[in-house]
Structure 1
Amino acid sequence: MGMSNLTRLSEFILLGLSSRPEDQKPLFALFLIIYLITLMGNLLIILAIRSDPQLQKPMYFFLSILSFADICYTTVIVPKMLVNFLSEKKTISYAGCLAQMYFFLVFGNIDNYLLAAMAIDRYVAICNPLHYVTVMNHRHCILLTAFSNIFSSLHSLLHVLLVNRLTFCVSNVIHHFFCDVYPVLKLSCSSTFVNEVVAMTEGLASVMAPFVCIIISYLRILIAILKIPSASGKHKAFSTCSSHLTVVTLYYGSISYVYFQPLSSYTVKNRIATINYTVLTSMLNPFIYSLRNKDMKQGLEKLINRIKSQINRFSSRKTNTIHGP
């Protein structure tokens, strides 16, 4: 039954953020700028962490992986979105849609688990500083990262396989700017009961388990900070967590608004809210972590100075080559 039904539908049409022709070029320019800032910001974070010995700590190891995941996360969505802004036929193939859905879910869930790993790191650093080196050693960091990758891949595969078994025969217009699960489910003319049950059980658990871990970690951190006698000590302890808390609030605030509701209530407002955790959070993460973290700020300054010196050295060599001895 599955294969015969799939032949009826070879592609979807992505409606995008706006169907008005006059909006397409301004939206293209806006999201191109956001995408380039996202790539540049996260790449600088990765290079700064990899090149600075002072940043060879578990927190920054997870941050570098998070920055890489954010680059992949936005690359899954934004380039196709940019192409569609400038084309009249805003289509995506059936296989392309499922592939986009799969990788969107993979990197979104990796972000989710990395945020939990970073919360655990802060909890151990503040509440059990004497055991920090033992608990958050390189092997444990690698295992946490591997778990987030493997579990996210299996989670995403489950949802994509469940979508692949559905029949699409009424409409192929997706009221969204990419192939998200809920907008695609709304097009199905077969029962989506199993998909919805899995989304509200396994899907909810895969999001809530890291979130609960983050909440418990920060409650324990808060209790530990309140026990610190000096005001300066409290401020220093809290400042190490503030950037991570800001990112967690942005990410989970928007994702809970979109997904923690029935399929029937999925509307255009959800499209706008989706931009927060798919595009804006990935762009803002480098700024949040660099502006609110002294070590990260110093690492970026060292990297930028190193890049400037390399450019100056290259320019002087080029000038000497042109003018000769």
Structure 2
Amino acid sequence: MSSLNASFSQNISIVHPKYFFIVGLSGIPYSSYYYIFLFMIYFITVIGNSIVLLIIALERSLHSPKYIGVFNLALADIGETNALIPNMMKNFLFDSQYISYNACLANMFFVFLFSSIQSVTLVVLAYDRFIAICLPLRYHALVNNTSIVLVFSAVWAFNSSVVGLMVSLITRLSLCESNVIQSYFCDHGPVFRLACNDNSINKIIAFLVSALYLVGPLIIIFLSYMGIFLALIKITTWQGRLKALKTCVSHLLLVGVCFLPIICTYIAAIMLSLSPNVRIISTSLAYAVPPMLNPMIYVLNTAEVKNFIQTVIKKKSTSIDQGISD
């Protein structure tokens, strides 16, 4: 009976606020200009990545493992942008900083899910380039459409489980310290720090998730390019080396765009003691800008995509000329 009472008292001690208040951007001077900038980022990101999805879906020559990876990355970019920016815009347009408890957990889940998908997709694309350059004769045996679809299906299932576990552990916390989130979305760290009971498990999983989706992918990508570099040395002609290296340019740019802003932001926050406003703006840009740049990188650096766009433009101009002549 005493154990039952103890269990009951433990259960009723869990406090979940009805609402949270997201105040990360409220103290920033001239924040209206920043919101306008965010809206421009949102518009360009959704349009640009939607075009990439449409091009890959329509052009049969792009139905290859590499472009299935690009398709997956564009899908994750749109997902993360829609999970992040519209909620920030709502705060500005309707002067509404509150979000319900369940909506906060959903926002946390989708932001981290799509950002983790981006990270792992870059690892899969690095693997694709590694096999193509280091084991070209075995490429079609090791990397094909069926295997890459299975890999990405496993990635979505695994990442959903990991992020779902991270978010579900928030529900065991009694958030009685405050209901004010010092961030620009329902970020995991600022939320679990509001707990007045033991949050050590949440700290551990936050560390593990950061290692899994930030440090781990960077190490794997670095090792894959070390292998690619060694393979390039074995190519006898400079022309052959440049041709092989050119196929990696877009991927290297994507890696730099996705990882460097986040790494620089964290390093600056630790070493330079950034003010809260600067930290929040830099972190929000590190999450918002890469999805906007990713489609531009592939359009500008990939011959297949440029050829498809040029073909479509030529067909349109030809049909217009024929219509005028008729």
Could you say which TM-score interval applies, normalised by the shorter chain?
A: 0.7 to 0.9
Q: Which residue of 1 aligns with 2:133?
A: 126
**1:49-88 to 2 correspondence within 5 Å?**
49-88=56-95
Q: Which residue of 1 aligns with 2:25?
A: 17
Preserved CA contact (<8 Å) 1:15 1:177: yes
Q: 2:194 aligns with which of 178, 187, 197?
A: 187
Alignment partners' CA distance in 1, 2:15 and 2:266 = 27
Alignment partners' CA distance in 1, 2:11 and 2:283 = 30
Shift of 1:258: 5.8
Alignment partners' CA distance in 2, 1:80 and 1:58 = 34
Alignment partners' CA distance in 2, 1:167 and 1:304 = 58
**1:146-157 to 2 correspondence within 5 Å?**
146-157=153-164
1:225-264 Cα deviation digits (max 9, x unpaired): 12222222222211111111111122222334567899xx
Shift of 1:84: 0.6
Preserved CA contact (<8 Å) 2:262 2:287: no
Q: 2:219 aligns with which of 190, 196, 212?
A: 212
Q: Which residue of 2 aligns with 1:110?
A: 117
Residues 154, 303 of structure 1: alpha-carbon distance in 2 compared, 3 angstrom cutoff: farther
Residues 61, 194 of structure 1: alpha-carbon distance in 2 compared, 3 angstrom cutoff: same
1:96-144 Cα deviation digits (max 9, x unpaired): 1100001111111111111111000001111111111111112210111
Alignment partners' CA distance in 1, 2:317 and 2:18 = 50
Residues 144, 190 of structure 1: alpha-carbon distance in 2 compared, 3 angstrom cutoff: same
Matched letter for residue 285 of structure 1: N
Q: Aligned with 2:195: secondary structure?
A: coil
Q: Which residue of 2 aligns with 1:141?
A: 148
- Identity rate, percent: 32
Alignment partners' CA distance in 1, 2:102 and 2:265 = 25
Alignment partners' CA distance in 2, 1:229 and 1:91 = 62
Residues 198, 267 of structure 1: alpha-carbon distance in 2 compared, 3 angstrom cutoff: farther
Matched letter for residue 91 of structure 1: Y
Matched letter for residue 12 of structure 1: F
Question: Is the deviation greater in 274-283 or in 115-124?
Answer: 274-283
Alignment partners' CA distance in 1, 2:318 and 2:78 = 27
Alignment partners' CA distance in 2, 1:235 and 1:226 = 11
Residues 16, 206 of structure 1: alpha-carbon distance in 2 compared, 3 angstrom cutoff: closer
Alignment partners' CA distance in 2, 1:26 and 1:309 = 43
Question: Is the deviation greater in 265-274 or in 32-41?
Answer: 265-274
What TM-score, normalized to structure 2?
A: 0.86
Q: Which residue of 1 aligns with 2:7?
A: none
Q: Aligned with 1:273: secondary structure?
A: helix
Preserved CA contact (<8 Å) 2:53 2:71: yes
Preserved CA contact (<8 Å) 1:168 1:187: yes
Shift of 1:205: 2.9
Tell me, yes or no, if structure 1 residue 170 matches structure 2 residue 161. no
**1:195-274 to 2 correspondence within 5 Å?**
195-257=202-264, 268=276, 269-274=278-283
Q: Which residue of 2 aligns with 1:299?
A: 308
Preserved CA contact (<8 Å) 1:51 1:303: no
Matched letter for residue 194 of structure 1: I
Shift of 1:267: 6.4
- In structure 2, runs of 5+ residues without a counterpart are 1-9
